[in-house]
Amino acid sequence: MIARAAFPFTPSAPLRLWPVLALLAAGAAQAAAPAVDGARAERIAQGAGCFGCHQIDPRPTDEDEDDDQSAATTPAARPPIAPAWRNVATKYRHDGGALERLTRAVLGGSNPYDPHWKYQVTGLAMPANRIAISEDDARLVVRWILSLDDAD
Ligand code: HEC
């Protein structure tokens, strides 16, 4: 009943409308997964304070030390506070539930008793960020994180 009421056409609508409806449905499906506006996502992350703990690129490892530029300008590799977002992308890229799960973690914080980055980061857990970021913005930022290329 409810579904019928919400549907804009009754079953008696002329059959020639169905191709139009099919096109509208296809458009809606595309709108559900828009290309990520990376610049906007990065601005939101900046404003929400994510970069107080995270970086986009992982710190150089020991092997990169001969790489003159990075060795000269960055401190010796220490574990970061929080995972670099390219590493997050690598870990969850093919995980269909990651977008929603990570959005929840960003808003509500991570579980300190079940860390996903144990021994790789110095932060024990991520605090809840929902004071700093809306749910829509959190989802946008996570979608962008998951779209990042792997680290070199
Ligand atoms: C106070 C430090 C801190 C801030 C601020 C912070 N994070 Fe985190 N974040 C962490 C730590 C620590 C972890 C690793 C948690 C773990 O080991 O499970 C983490 C993990 C994550 C993960 C991966 C979660 C998982 O389950 O693997 C994502 C995605 C993430 N943060 C996004 C964000 C976003 C987006 C923001 C800004 C809104 C943010 N973080 C702000 C510390 C922080």
Of the chain, the percentage scoring pLDDT greater than 70 comes to 66
79 and 122 in contact (C-beta within 8 Å)?
yes
Q: Structure tokens of 71?
A: 């060795």
**pLDDT, tens digit (0-9, with 9 covering 90-100), for 65-80:** 555 555 555 555 678 9
Instruction: Tell me which of 129 and 22 has the higher pLDDT.
Output: 129
Which residues are near ligand 1 (CB < 6 Å)?
Answer: 45, 48-50, 52-54, 81-83, 88, 102, 105-106, 110, 115-117, 121, 123, 125-127, 129, 132-133, 141-142, 145
- Residue 4 to residue 76: CA distance in whole angstroms: 64
Q: What domains appear along the chain, each with residue ranges and CATH number?
A: 37-147 (1.10.760.10)
**pLDDT, tens digit (0-9, with 9 covering 90-100), for 112-124:** 999 999 999 999 9
Average pLDDT over residues 143-148: 98
**pLDDT number for residue 141:** 98
Count how many residues are written for the chain: 152
Average pLDDT over residues 10-37: 53
pLDDT of residue 82 exceeding 80, the answer is yes
Orientation angle between helical segments 85-92 and 98-108, nearest 10 degrees = 140
Model confidence, pTM: 0.77
**pLDDT number for residue 24:** 45
Among protein residues, the one with the nearest Cα to ligand 1's atom 24 is: 102
| Average of per-residue pLDDT values in the chain | 81
